[in-house]
Structure 1
């Protein structure tokens, strides 16, 4: 069996794309080990999880023991540490002043790592990276796969620092060199350097591939973030109206995904002032959660704006299917957003939910060609409200768009796209006919 070791910089609880890739490889006949990060705050998440006989998840610890103890016990931990030092420091002074001075310096550095946010972040990330490298190196895989730039160093060490280097795939889910909160030029230099060790790069779509060719001089493979294909009526049905406390005949206007900057979420709340019918529902979490909740309380339609915590990707279709329409209104604040072909669009499509989408090239192309929604200027709350009002007042139009999703999903689904992933793997770590046959027995 060919072994694959893949890295992802999250807990692997809501990463549908990585799950699709790992599951596809495991079903084809590869032995897949995914290295993710554990979440000490979530007792449901385990350090080791066996998804199937050929797909396993290993979650490394997030915090070094010292920081974990401080997080768990706070001042009590510091008092215990201080008490221990009362005994240790005089003993070291008796042995050697130099040893005592070095020990005191290490205590100062440790205290800085606990108290100074930036130092603490570097320390935590460094510990995670080290643990990922150790775990990944001893997997001794036939091929290594890094999801996004923050796991590429780990994959480079594990795949290339060997007597016999292994192939390395770099799967970039974002435009790393042009996204919010990042130093563009610095990231571009880092990514450019690390690409020298990569055997194959994957990006989400052709718009991003062309951008990559422009800045790095080569055209990577594309792997669109299409949803798994399923029949929505086969998914477990829930009473979402009851969950959020509204009448069955009310229309749910759904946004599902991360509550992050640049996704037009504030404008959705603003648009509610002009929306004639329906309840706005956010399903997800993120940095903007509290800000959006505070903003909604000031809205004249506060009673029609609801929030639910993020839902595991396996359960999400049961929620999506209950929506009257879905929103995908990314803001053009960076090329990463402008070039997206977001999985949210295809999740709505698979659940037969019409979409109100932004007018960016990849998303607009799909919506226009399939006639599965209305394209708007995502920076214009009035235009968003007009599109909603058009659909809520014309159920026949809404139902036609919904019906069109049934044909569209036959094209835009993972079953069609995954062939490209398998072609890449077959190039670098081909399975023998025997291995493939054994897997399908």
Structure 2
């Protein structure tokens, strides 16, 4: 049985993409190990069909963390026999490249984003240049490369002279019926990290102008405390609810009970501009109309499958108008929700996984 080792830097608990990927590979007959890290706040892992390993680091952010994690990952990989390794993003690729070369086996590069263009690297030219250099050294050595959307694939191919295929971050097809307007709660729902650049400050401010609805945010991040404080300072505690981190298994029910899903980003980086977020498809699977940014990937899909609307800029006025245009027009909401129902068989993991399995099968065969 071929052994595949997949590597990430998160704590494995909430990474829906990697849980789907690893489970699919196991179902196909591979032995899979997913390697990440353990954090102070990490809870117990849920038993899954693949082995889960979490490395402990003494430093958990900044350059020293990445250096320590890659050193420990390299040591771990040196003690494991495997037939294929997978580096998820640039932060694991150094160790994976060296380990794969040492064992004489191929590796795959799975890019979840345009790593060198994330907002966290704005103004940090030295750090950005280091990551770019790592990419130019390691990515050409990969047997195959893939990413989450066509726009990022084109940009990565241009930068690194390597073909990037597309495996979209879509959910498993839901066979549950879609809840009607009357069956849903008066909830505006956001799932994802509470980080800078997500437009969450604007979203909270909008609630001052929206009556009869509650904004529910599922997730945590760098702005967790700041956003809670903002809601309190503006007297919106009764309109804004923070759920904290929610397990992937709980999200579909929450999403399916909301009347509106939010998928917004500030156009402050190429990584955001070219993004195709999993929440966009999660809302679609739940039959929940969504508000999205007028970025290339969303415009392309929504021009054909009208499951939501877009806004061209983030401001309290524009966001408030967009929200009201859906929650105050039940006819529009019903049309968008019906379109979600029609589209969810097209954008589901059952179809997307065939692309993934072909990449892995061909890599191991060659």
Query: TM-score scaled by structure 2?
Result: 0.91
- Counterpart of 2:173 (choices 223, 226, 229) is 229
Deviation digits for residues 44-69 of structure 1 (CA, Å, limit 9, x no counterpart): 425xx7512xx111112233xxx8xx
Matches within 5 A, 1:295-314: 295-314=230-249
Which consecutive unaligned segments of at least 5 residues does structure 1 have?
68-116, 236-247, 432-441
CA contact 2:140–2:162 (8 Å) conserved in 1: no
Alpha-carbon separation, structure 1, partners of 2:184 and 2:344? 27
**Aligned equivalent of 2:258:** 323
Q: The residue matched to 1:255 in structure 2 has which SS? A: strand
Which consecutive unaligned segments of at least 5 residues does structure 2 have?
none
- Counterpart of 2:53 (choices 38, 42, 58) is 58
Q: The residue matched to 1:261 in structure 2 has which SS? A: coil
Residue 203 of structure 1: how far off its partner (Å):
1.5
Matches within 5 A, 1:152-301: 152-162=93-103, 165-182=104-121, 183=125, 184-233=128-177, 251-301=186-236
CA contact 2:186–2:212 (8 Å) conserved in 1: yes
Q: Name whichever structure is richer in helix by fraction.
A: 1
Residue 234 of structure 1: how far off its partner (Å):
10
What's the C-alpha RMSD, in Å, of the aligned pairs?
2.2
Give the number of the structure whose alpha-carbon radius of gyration is greater.
1
Alpha-carbon separation, structure 2, partners of 1:379 and 1:125? 33
Q: The residue matched to 2:86 in structure 1 has which SS? A: strand
Query: TM-score scaled by structure 1?
Result: 0.76
**Aligned equivalent of 1:13:** 13
Residue 428 of structure 1: how far off its partner (Å):
1.5
- Counterpart of 1:418 (choices 344, 353, 365) is 353
Moved >6 Å (runs of 4+): none
Alpha-carbon separation, structure 2, partners of 1:398 and 1:387? 12
- Is 2:44 aligned against 1:45? yes
CA contact 1:329–1:378 (8 Å) conserved in 2: no
CA contact 2:140–2:161 (8 Å) conserved in 1: no
Residue 123 of structure 1: how far off its partner (Å):
4.9
Q: The residue matched to 1:370 in structure 2 has which SS? A: coil
Residue 311 of structure 1: how far off its partner (Å):
0.3
Alpha-carbon separation, structure 2, partners of 1:407 and 1:262? 31
- Counterpart of 2:335 (choices 394, 400, 405) is 400
**Aligned equivalent of 1:377:** 312
Alpha-carbon separation, structure 2, partners of 1:171 and 1:199? 11
Q: The residue matched to 1:313 in structure 2 has which SS? A: coil
Deviation digits for residues 242-266 of structure 1 (CA, Å, limit 9, x no counterpart): xxxxxx9861011111001111111
CA contact 1:201–1:220 (8 Å) conserved in 2: yes
User: In the comparison of the two structures, how many residue pairs are matched?
Assistant: 358
